Amino acid sequence: MWKNLSLLHLYKLIYSHLHCYQHQAFEDFGASIFSEGMAPGIESSEGNNKMSKGYQYPSWKKKLTGLVVDNEELCRMVEKGIMGLCGVETQAVETGEAAVELIASGATFDIIVIDRFLPSMTGPETARKMREMGVESKIIGLFALYFEGDEEEFVAAGVDDFKEKPLSPNWLVPMLRELDN
């Protein structure tokens, strides 16, 4: 299935659900990968299998969904891209408030990655709010530079892990395997 699905179509589906900014660089990026035309639709009931020349990801038994919460545009783009290419149907938002709103509207996610620094609601505050709302997803706190007390704050907020950026495929795939099982 995934052999016949181009990245182009995957991004189309993901971006159509994004709470997203409008920025020329982002649009240029989107335009470049949307230039090839549409591919057949996703059959989501049987899981996802991504074969690339380097990696062979396991065939997920269920449809995995993810949420990226990162105010930094490029980080958000790359994290969403990596999760998507690893077979996770991913949305991305810029703020903690947007993430909470998404969840309050009924969206559910298997994995949520949250950056430490968000504009008003911080990363830990966002994670805490999600747990208070009953979110049981795997929540990962990400940081680019470490500040004293960050890890304690994230852990106290209820995250499952706390990791320095970047979000790497080698780190992500074993976690997805756990979620799939």
Partner 1 sequence: MERNHLPRHLVLQRQSLFDQGLLDEQFIQLEELQDDANPNFVEEVVTSYYQNTSTLIVIIEQALGTSPLDFNKLDGYMYQLKGSSSSFGAKKVKADCTLFREYCKAGNVEGCMRTFQQLKKEYASLKRKLEAYFQLARQARVTGTASRPK
Q: Which spans of this chain sit near partner 1 (rule: CB under 8 A)?
A: 6-8, 23-26, 28-29, 32-33, 51-55, 72-75, 77-79, 81-82, 85-86, 115, 117, 144-145, 164-170
Give 32 or 44: the residue with its C-beta nearer to partner 1: 32
Residue 66 CB coordination number (10 Å): 28
Residue 95 to residues 30, 39, 102, 126, 139, Cα–Cα distance (Å): 21, 31, 11, 9, 15
Radius of gyration of the CA atoms of the chain, in A? 16
CB of 118 to partner 1, least distance (A): 12
What is the rounded CA–CA span in Å between residue 131 and residue 136? 7
Give 6 or 63: the residue with its C-beta nearer to partner 1: 6
Give 77 or 139: the residue with its C-beta nearer to partner 1: 77
What is the rounded CA–CA span in Å between residue 3 and residue 18? 25
Q: Which residue has the tokens 């940081």?
A: 143
Give 30 or 131: the residue with its C-beta nearer to partner 1: 30
Q: Which residue has the tokens 């830990």?
A: 124
CB of 41 to partner 1, least distance (A): 16
CB of 60 to partner 1, least distance (A): 16
CB of 79 to partner 1, least distance (A): 8
Residue 102 to residues 9, 16, 18, 72, 106, Cα–Cα distance (Å): 23, 14, 10, 19, 7
Give 34 or 180: the residue with its C-beta nearer to partner 1: 34
CB of 108 to partner 1, least distance (A): 25
